[in-house]
Amino acid sequence: MSAATVELMDYADVIARFEPVLGMEVHVELSTATKMFCGCPTEFGAEPNTQVCPVCLGLPGSLPVVNEKAVESAIRIGLALNCSITPWGRFARKNYFYPDQPKNYQISQYDEPICGNGHLDVLLDDGSTFRVEIERAHMEEDTGKSLHVGGATGRIHGASHSLLDYNRAGVPLIEIVTKPITGAGDRAPEVARAYVTALREVLKSLGVSDVKMEQGSLRCDANVSLMPIGAKEFGTRTETKNVNSLRSVEVAVRYEMRRQAAVLANGGTILQETRHFHETDGSTSPGRVKETSEDYRYFPEPDLEPVAPDAEWIESLRGTIPEYPWLRRARLQAEWGLSPEVFRDLVNVGALDLIIATVDEGASVDAARAWWGNSLAATAKEREVSLAELPITPGQVAEVIKLVEAKTINSKVAKQVVDLVLAGEGAPAQIVEAKGLGMVSDDSALQTEVEKALAANPDIADKIRSGKVQAAGKIVGDVMKATRGQADAARVRELVLAACGAS
């Protein structure tokens, strides 16, 4: 496992001599309320073995039933990836023994996957796109989790005993497999990362998964092989398992390219094996020698009906597929006329959807952007929550914006109103009413305050009368203070100048 004994070829030399081929396998846990074939809840982080039943524990005589919502999610994922949806397909049993999988087989799909032959055009760092062809996306169930106790590494090696948690057993999974990705050359590691990034964004925009790589709801295996430049046949691939961050995907692919190149250049051969990725130093180490599909003795699952989605259902689901997130961002940036930097800040604070919702409630883009992007973003940061978690709705922000536009309140009071909404005091109009925060626009009331302020500052009043209108600022300030900031400052200024015959 020590990196010192592994020879790595310089990356530029790898590229000069070899053409990389990639294959990405992504497992995504669906965020359905219940499991794939039973009614157990899927929530993450519960006490071990509290979300189990005879079906997901594989007890004799129990029978699975397909979760319709999971099929719906699978179809929507397929449509978003430009796949064709299989009109009739069966589940299959994938037979193997592993303690975290109590039935001795996993229900999966084999040669009749629900989605096949798609593609995803992914955005690279320089703004160009690279087409990744999708082989298939199929439905299966997740396994439980083993916890190896007593060893130093948490691996089974050196452990004194293992604990099993079946809460995850039977959680719906979609496995998305690419066709071999060729022609990426030196950009292969970047393409791998960009693909998983894009896929993750698509899945998130579909609302089918929480796509948290750190919690394992999105897991990525990277297949890598090399062939000499100009060769026709692919080389032998390795499959690096469970690469659990976007950056790691890139690091793992690059590492495997450099390692395999050194092996091949020294006349060695690559074993078809799974490999483990090590976050600490970005290396990979050998796992098990890979089974072939014959080893699994796949056969059609006899306990389940075939999945046969009708065309009408598929078409109605097609209507629910959102625009790709990166295309939507580009469109909004252009429509809103923002610089890349300003727009990126809004994206980073998670303001886009909130701004759009606020505009939908009748606010202008600029005002909505200012609230969510500036003062509310600052509040969210202060409270260490996301913008969406703040206790104020887009409708309420729009209401505040409209109150300002109608000159019911000025912008300074608006900030106060928003703070009161955040403090749970109610809706904006309600607060303005209850706290008497409406703008003092009654001229006679303002007139009285102006006269008071002028009388209290005779020297300044003289200056204004003699034409030094800049001096009016102090009087305006006093009147604003006297009206607790609720006056229209521009109107106050007009009244001051008029009173001094300077308008």
| Sites of contact with Mg ion (CB under 5 A) | 25
**Token pair for 300:** 């059609």
Q: Among 9-17, 20-28, 46-54, 421-429, which window interacts with ligand ADP (CB under 6 A)?
A: 20-28
- 21 vs 171, which CB is nearer to ligand ADP? 21
DSSP 3-state of 307: strand
Q: At 497, which helix (H) or strand (E)?
A: helix 489-499
Q: Among 139-147, 163-171, 175-183, 374-382, which window interacts with ligand ADP (CB under 6 A)?
A: 175-183
- 43 vs 291, which CB is nearer to ligand ADP? 291
User: Cα–Cα–Cα angle for 297, 303, 309, nearest 5°?
Assistant: 100
Q: Among 22-30, 73-81, 163-171, 297-305, which window interacts with ligand ADP (CB under 6 A)?
A: 22-30
- Per-residue x/- marks for ligand ADP, 69-98, CB under 6 A? ------------------------------
Q: Which residues contact 86 (CB under 8 A, 6 or more apart)?
A: 112, 113, 114, 115, 116, 307
The CA distance from 281 to 239, in Å, is 18
Q: How far is the CB of 275 from ligand ADP (least distance, A)?
A: 12
| C-alpha closest to that of 212 among 241, 239, 246 | 246
Q: How far is the CB of 318 from Mg ion (least distance, A)?
A: 27
225 binds, among ligand ADP, Mg ion, Zn ion, none (CB under 5 to 8 A by kind): ligand ADP
Of 94, 103, 193, 237, the one binding ligand ADP (CB under 6 A) is 237
Of 9, 22, 24, 38, the one binding Zn ion (CB under 5 A) is 38
- 60 vs 436, which CB is nearer to Zn ion? 60
Taking CB atoms, the residue at the shortest distance from ligand ADP is 23
Site for ligand ADP in 282-311 (CB under 6 A): 290
Q: How far is the CB of 123 from ligand ADP (least distance, A)?
A: 20
**58: left (phi > 0), else alpha (psi -120 to 50), else beta?**
left
**Token pair for 360:** 């939908």
Q: At 189, which helix (H) or strand (E)?
A: helix 188-206
Of 3, 6, 8, 53, the one binding Zn ion (CB under 5 A) is 53
H runs (alpha helix) in 319-410: 325-336, 340-348, 352-360, 365-370, 376-383, 394-405
**Token pair for 233:** 């046949």
Of 17, 112, 164, 234, the one binding ligand ADP (CB under 6 A) is 234
Q: What is the DSSP string of 70-102?
A: HHHHHHHHHHHTTPEEPSSB--EEEE---TT-T
Of 17, 145, 148, 179, the one binding ligand ADP (CB under 6 A) is 179
- 179 vs 474, which CB is nearer to ligand ADP? 179
Classify burial at 8, counting beta carbons within 10 Å of its beta carbon; exposed 0-12, middle 13-18, buried 19 or more: middle
C-beta atoms surrounding 318 within 10 Å = 13
**Token pair for 78:** 């397929």
The CA distance from 136 to 110, in Å, is 10
- Give the chain's radius of gyration (CA, Å): 32
- 219 vs 237, which CB is nearer to ligand ADP? 237
Site for ligand ADP in 108-137 (CB under 6 A): 135
Q: Which residues contact 93 (CB under 8 A, 6 or more apart)?
A: 105, 106, 107, 108, 297, 298, 299, 300, 301
Instruction: Check binding of 21 to ligand ADP (CB under 6 A).
Output: yes
Q: How far is the CB of 61 from Zn ion (least distance, A)?
A: 14
Q: What is the DSSP string of 424-480?
A: T---HHHHHHHHT-S-B--HHHHHHHHHHHHHH-HHHHHHHHTT-GGGHHHHHHHHH
Q: How far is the CB of 35 from Mg ion (least distance, A)?
A: 21
Q: How far is the CB of 96 from ligand ADP (least distance, A)?
A: 12
The CA distance from 49 to 57, in Å, is 10
Site for ligand ADP in 238-257 (CB under 6 A): 239
The CA distance from 117 to 106, in Å, is 24
- Per-residue x/- marks for Zn ion, 183-222, CB under 5 A? ----------------------------------------
Q: Among 177-185, 205-213, 393-401, 409-417, which window interacts with ligand ADP (CB under 6 A)?
A: 177-185
- Per-residue x/- marks for ligand ADP, 132-171, CB under 6 A? ---x------------------------------------
Which residue ranges make up the site for ligand ADP (CB under 6 A)?
21-25, 135, 177-180, 223-225, 234-235, 237, 239, 290
Which residue ranges make up the site for Zn ion (CB under 5 A)?
38, 40, 53, 55-56
